[in-house]
Amino acid sequence: MKQVRRIPHRADFDRWIRMLTPSEIRSIENEIDRLIDEGLAKGTEVQVAGWMPGADWTGTVWDPIYQKACGRNVTAAGYCFGIFVWKAFMDRPDTWSFVGDAVKMDGTPIQSKVYFRIDDPRR
């Protein structure tokens, strides 16, 4: 496990977010924080990035990532979203780590970063 400390693929991320408005970026960041907080309120200190947005981004805060930032490229949109999630965990007051090769209980690979809270300074 590694602590989340810097944004990976910074040049790609910067290129993608230049295509978004400040309002769209704030909406994306706020929704990710809301989902993380919602999970924590339910006692979930393990969160999977790829499970956050759902499969259909149409009409959601995620849609501009696909439509505008990544030119309707599904793979690029997934990477861009993943970096937004990475940044959200990195910017939180608590400390998070991640693994990239996790598997479900049945042995099925999780094709996404799995984040774990390792320190909560409020405790």
- pTM score of the predicted model: 0.89
- Please give the pLDDT value at position 6: 81
Query: Could you give the CA distance from residue 103 to residue 9 in angstroms, rounded to a whole number?
Result: 24
Number of domains in the chain: 1
Which range of residues forms the domain containing residue 71?
2-119
Percentage of the chain with pLDDT > 70? Answer: 93
Percentage of the chain with pLDDT > 90? Answer: 65
H or E stretch at 87: helix 74-91
